[in-house]
Amino acid sequence: MTIVALPLADQHALKDCQPAKNVECRAMTINHLDAHLARRREWRKEHGVAASRRRRRNRYFHSLVDRLVASQVVRESRILDLGCADGATLRACQPSVGVGVDIDAETASLTSSDEDSAGIVFVESPVEYLRATPLPDPDYVIMSMLLDEVYDVQHVLAQVHDWSTRRTRLVIVTYSRLWRPFLRLAEILRLKNRAAGENYVPWAEVENMLALEAFEVTKRLDGILLPFPIPVLSQIVNRWLAPLPLLRALSLVRVTVARRMQQKPEPLPAVSIVVAARNESGHINELIERVPIIAERQELIFVEGNSTDDTWHVIKRAVDDYTGDPRMTLHALQQPGKGKGDAVRAGFQTATGDILMILDADISVQPEELRRFVEALRDDFCEFANGSRLVYPMDAKAMRFLNLLGNKFFGYLFSYLLGQPVRDTLCGTKVLRRSDYERLAANKTVFGDFDPFGDFDLLFGASYLGLRIRDVPVHYKERRYGETNISRFSHGALLLKMSAVAARKLKFVG
């Protein structure tokens, strides 16, 4: 078995996670678990060589699965792969630190090279017998086809819940029940392995058991219509057709991404509210008066950029003369570049709060409604709160008709691309944690750097990290000063271009 040195803290953790037959297994008896594992070991002893040969023969299918999993994982992360098989999935994810656990981890070590397994350790043990996590504070826990082989799925999910942190993401791969007859046929023809005690757990049941163990699904990705290689055709079908609406329901596998739900609400943290302001001098003083006190420590950061009116002078005077609630401090800065996205990034770089908020300066979204965004994060209903203007009736002139149609179109498009319902992509009010924004900013190059608004950068980045996005309905009012800075046609074309880039990164990855 290939063992590569881990950091000292992780080495100590590995010593504590060796097999322990007296481990308490919730909702099952040790005798039944032992019998199940004995059958699996006997099967591997008898069929292991042939099984490895079949897996190599089916390497095209397994490489597709590895690609789907790797598309949900940020490179250079801390990854725990439970049921790692030959270790190919773990290596495809390119972890900074990786631990693979399998009942027959020797197979993984024998198929590894020192070059492609740098930073990876393989542990031989049934997952159920681990008394502690093999990798503290993992960024990702991968379970590819594992849940079809374990004796008690809920017990394994309960273990993983105890090992996870707020930022840990589960990445689970399961077969579609629609394909079960074909999978059985492949097993009869000895084209596919059938391990002892294997069970095809349906997607709906996996999600139900995740909910029972306090996990929430953040994303779903369906893939693979042709599990065998046909030159040119397989690439077209699996990458470009399998993710399409309707066809994706016929896919062979589903990748489900989930997060651990917090058991107790977090204390209300410090809040930073960033307001990008261009030609908004008539709204500044009213906005300051209407912003509610949400936390014991909060700051209101105005970022002015390229105004042709006296917006900057009004901001400076308001900040200098502020004598309001001492729990809120005001700051003023001028953005270094152009566009709202640049202004928001400049404001976030200056912000010191634990929660980062964006509020448009035109007061079309009511400042008084900011509180519910923070409460949604505090109570762990979501990790990214996105304002939605399309729920309540809006003022007659608040949004032009073509803008409304465009917003609805991009809402449907983004719900498909992100794998989560997002009704209003261009609402200016968005809220997330500082720690998540820092991770998002570190991976900004994944989608390029051409979003002038910042909304798409944040939504794409949140989906890439597997964050739970949730709409927060707001009331949308007509602006009373100035004009909108949005150009319907040129900006609409740019949004379509950004959506195409996101589609290749988030959806068409097979």
Sheet holding 430-433, edge to edge: 328-334, 298-304, 271-277, 355-358, 430-433, 384-388, 469-473
Q: pLDDT above 70 covers what percent of the chain?
A: 87
Q: pLDDT grade, residue 142 (50/70/90)? A: very high
Q: What is the mean pLDDT of the chain?
A: 85
Query: What average pLDDT does range 64-87 have in this prediction?
Result: 94
**Could you tell me if residue 205 is inside a domain?**
yes
| pLDDT score for 450 | 66
**Distances from the Cα of 41 to the Cαs of 19, 21, 30, 49, in angstroms?**
15, 15, 16, 13
* CATH code of the domain in which 456 resides: 3.90.550.10
User: How confident is the model over 152-161, as pLDDT tens digits?
Assistant: 899 999 999 9
243 and 354 co-located in one domain: no
**227-278 residue pLDDT tens:** 999 999 999 999 999 999 999 999 999 999 999 987 677 777 899 999 999 9
Please tell me the predicted confidence (pLDDT) of residue 25: 47
- Does the residue 3 lie in any domain? no
Handedness of CA 497, 502, 507, 508 (dihedral sign): positive
Please enumerate, as own/partner, the contacts of 407-414 that have beta carbons within 8 Å and a separation of 24 or more.
410/495, 410/499, 413/499, 414/459, 414/499
Q: What is the pLDDT of residues 460-506, one digit of tens each?
A: 999 999 999 999 999 988 877 766 655 556 667 877 888 888 888 89
Statement to judge: residues 235 and 301 lie in one domain: no
Q: How confident is the model at residue 18 (pLDDT cuts 50, 70, 90)?
A: very low
Residues 207 and 321 in one domain: no
Q: Is 265 within a domain?
A: no
Residue 266 lies in a domain: no
Q: How many CB atoms lie within 10 A of CB 22?
A: 7
Based on the domain organization, do 200 and 316 belong to the same domain?
no
Question: Which residue type occupies 257?
Answer: V
State the CATH number of the domain containing residue 245.
3.40.50.150
Within 8 A by CB and 6+ apart from 185, the residues are: none
The tally of domains found in the chain comes to 2
DSSP per-residue codes, 109-176: HHT--TTTTTTEEEEES-GGGBSS-SSSS-SEEEEES-TTT-S-HHHHHHHHHHH--TT-EEEEEEE-
**Residues contacting residue 21 through CB under 8 Å, at least 6 positions apart:** 30, 34, 129
Could you say which DSSP state residue 439 is in? H
Q: Is the pLDDT of residue 81 over 90?
A: yes
Last residue of a domain, one of 228, 260, 292: 260
Do residues 361 and 468 both lie within one domain? yes
Q: Does residue 342 surpass a pLDDT of 80? A: yes
Nearest to 121 by CA among 206, 4, 294: 4
Looking at the structure, do residues 150 and 33 belong to the same domain, yes or no? yes
The pair of structure tokens assigned to 290 is 């209407």
Q: Is residue 62 part of a domain?
A: yes
Question: In the structure, what pLDDT confidence band is assigned to residue 109 with cuts at 50, 70 and 90?
Answer: low
246 with 284, same domain? no
Shared domain for 284 and 319, answered yes or no, is yes
154 and 180 in a single domain? The answer is yes
Among 330, 326, 281, residue whose Cα is nearest residue 301: 330
Is residue 1 included in any domain, yes or no?
no
Domain boundary among the residues 217, 234, 260 is at: 260
- Asked if residue 410 is part of any domain, the answer here is yes
More confident residue, 36 or 297: 297
Q: pLDDT, tens digit, for every residue of 159-193?
A: 999 999 999 999 999 999 888 888 788 778 777 77
Same structural domain for residues 211 and 325? no
pLDDT grade, residue 108 (50/70/90)?
low
Phi and psi based region of residue 454 (left: phi greater than 0; alpha: psi -120 to 50; beta: remaining)? left
- The domain boundary residue, chosen from 260, 293, 326: 260
Helices 434-442 and 340-350 pack at an angle, to 10 degrees, of 120
Between CA 291 and CA 353 the distance in angstroms is: 16
For residue 366, give its domain range. Answer: 271-506
Q: Do 335 and 452 have their domain in common?
A: yes
**Are 228 and 333 in a shared domain?**
no
User: Which token pair is 127?
Assistant: 């997952």
For residue 2, being part of any structural domain is answered with no
